[in-house]
Amino acid sequence: MSNPTTPEPSHDPSVSAGSSGRSPIEDLLDRLVCPMAHAPLRREGEWLVCTRCGPRFAIVDDIPNMIIEEATLPEGCADLRRLPCVLAGDARLD
């Protein structure tokens, strides 16, 4: 039973949880980096994309899935070992 004085939580990404006027995912984006290259991420629709090596991390219900094994690899990259950051020796697969 909900309290009439307490608003229900919103799942609308356009509604901000804070006073910044930004959605929670936008605030989180300032702190997240690629788990492989440790490079900044950019948002493309419902994806976060590594600005260095290109894997795409799905955003589902405003929660980014940052598990590299579940990321969509960039076109032309057959597996994680072929990511530019791994080939350059800047990231390792353990």
pLDDT, one tens digit per residue, over 8-63 is 434 444 444 455 677 777 788 888 999 998 999 999 999 999 999 999 999 999 88
pLDDT at position 3, please? 45
pLDDT at position 10, please? 43
| Contact of 74 with 55, CB cutoff 8 Å | yes
pLDDT at position 2, please? 42
pLDDT at position 15, please? 43
| 68 φ/ψ angles, rounded to the nearest 5 degrees | -60, -35
pLDDT at position 9, please? 39
pLDDT at position 30, please? 83
Q: For residue 64, is pLDDT > 50?
A: yes
pTM over 0.85: no
pLDDT at position 55, please? 97
Nearest to 87 by CA among 39, 56, 53, 38: 53
Q: Where are the domains of the chain?
A: 24-87
| Contact of 48 with 41, CB cutoff 8 Å | yes
State how far the Cα of 80 lies from the Cα of 54, in Å rounded to an integer: 11
